Amino acid sequence: MLTGKRILLVIGGGIAAYKALDLIRRLQDAGAGVRGVLTAGGAEFITPLSVASLTGDQCYTDLFSLKDEAEMGHIRLSREADVILIAPATADLMAKMAAGLAGDLASTVLLATDKPVLAAPAMNAEMWAHPATQRNLATLTGDGVIMIPPGDGQLACGEVGPGRLAEVPDIVAAVEAHFSAAKKPLTGRHVLVTAGPTHEPIDPVRYIANRSSGRQGFAIAGALARMGARVTLVAGPVALDTPPGVTRIDVETACQMADAADKALPADAAVCVAAVADWRTSDEASGKLKKSQDGLPHLNLVENPDILARLSSGGKRRPGLVVGFAAETDDVVNHAMAKRLRKGCDWIVANDVSVESGVMGGGDNTVHLVTDTGVEDWPTLPKQAVAERLAERIAGALS
């Protein structure tokens, strides 16, 4: 799969750097040629000699190398590869990339490149969840960096959570998927997908939400990625695995989802599957609300951002194709047709989510595709099949 491909491997400074040595071997086993750039932090865990011995090439470490820079080394390194792979991509390295800094060889190479960049983050779970890291993740995704999501489990620091470097076979598979995507209909396209519910806090314990499992949105994100798209998935609180090849941004509230969607632009298409709560409280309580003899607590509700309408009326930043979802309990098609006109989107995928339908949390879906040319009634299908069919329609529209 990788025969003849040239990969520049940037090794960041974290305990996961030791896996880079195995990664070099596995990439070579797949037919790739590998060069290594080792950061100062990475050199605290593995040596330049180890990298050079495995790659059969010099290990590059110094931005101010007299010999290398006389030959414009950082430019040459950034241009002679078919792809740049960062593993591990530390929080520090991600921050440098997002800010456009170029203070060492690795960050300078990444700023100077005109080639695709794949990054496999690895860090402490709290560092991964920190708003600064999530902002940097959104920026990098918007800039076109392809993220290989970290795993969830025991970390080197002893804590448990997301932040483990993806397994070496998964990283190799992501690189292979990048190259195989060149033959797929959505190659070079960026698609934004929103999925899952949003949770709107009432107090530290309670929240307003919808009954969405996120399964349909995640299936659509995965189907689009398999067709070659670069997919940014903005996900509400759900317990689902990230589809392979998809960059996931986790949010909780509608305001956070709207902000993440905006930062993910520009996009060729947006598919708004998320069941966003229509309202939130304007005065979230700082402590748990207690029962009182004075009666029920009064909640001041305000409208949440209308993400679908915002994307549909985005002016120059509007995606070329905006697809919304309409979850209805009665008169499904008519409500969906009215919603398409009201929101200004191109398509609406309507489905019956009444209790009898079993759609919310279930494995099947019966949808109606509403466009400016009419209504298509699709048969009842597994959500995965609905996703594949919709992805094919999106690919046809964008081509």
Determine whether the annotation assigns residue 306 to a binding site: yes
Q: Which tokens go with 385?
A: 């099949």
Map 43-82 to HEC letters: HHCCCHHHHHHHHCCCEECCCCCHHHHHCCHHHHHHHHCC
Candidate list 59, 157, 255, 272, residue with the active-site label: 157
Instruction: Give the integer Cα–Cα distance in Å for 330 and 135.
Output: 40
Q: Which of 84, 70, 86, 147 is nearest to 115 (CA)?
A: 84
**Which helix (H) or strand (E) element contains residue 87?**
strand 83-89
Residue 326: strand, helix, or coil = strand
Question: Quick one: residue 56, left, alpha or beta (phi over 0 = left, psi -120 to 50 = alpha)?
Answer: left
CA 225 to centroid of chain Cα atoms: 11
Is residue 278 part of an annotated ligand binding site?
yes
Determine whether 330 is exposed, middle or buried from the number of CB atoms within 10 Å of its CB (0-12, 13-18, 19+).
exposed
Would you state the structure tokens that stand for residue 171, as one six-digit string?
A: 């990283």
Place of tokens 């180890």: 50
Task: Flag whether 381 is marked binding.
Answer: no
Query: Residue 360: how many CB atoms within 10 A of its CB?
Result: 18
Q: To which H or E segment does residue 368 belong?
A: strand 367-371
Ligand-binding site membership of 308 (annotated): yes
Q: Is 45 annotated as a binding residue?
A: no
Is residue 307 marked as binding? yes
State the Cα angle at 70 between 68 and 71, rounded to 5°.
70
- 19 appears as a binding residue in the annotation: no
Q: Is 290 annotated in some ligand binding site?
A: no
170 marked as binding residue: no
CB atoms within 10 A of CB 148: 27
157 belongs to the catalytic site: yes
Query: Which parts are annotated binding residues?
Result: 278, 288, 305-308, 325, 339, 343
Residues forming the active site: 157
Query: Which parts are annotated binding residues for CTP?
Result: 278, 288, 305-308, 325, 339, 343
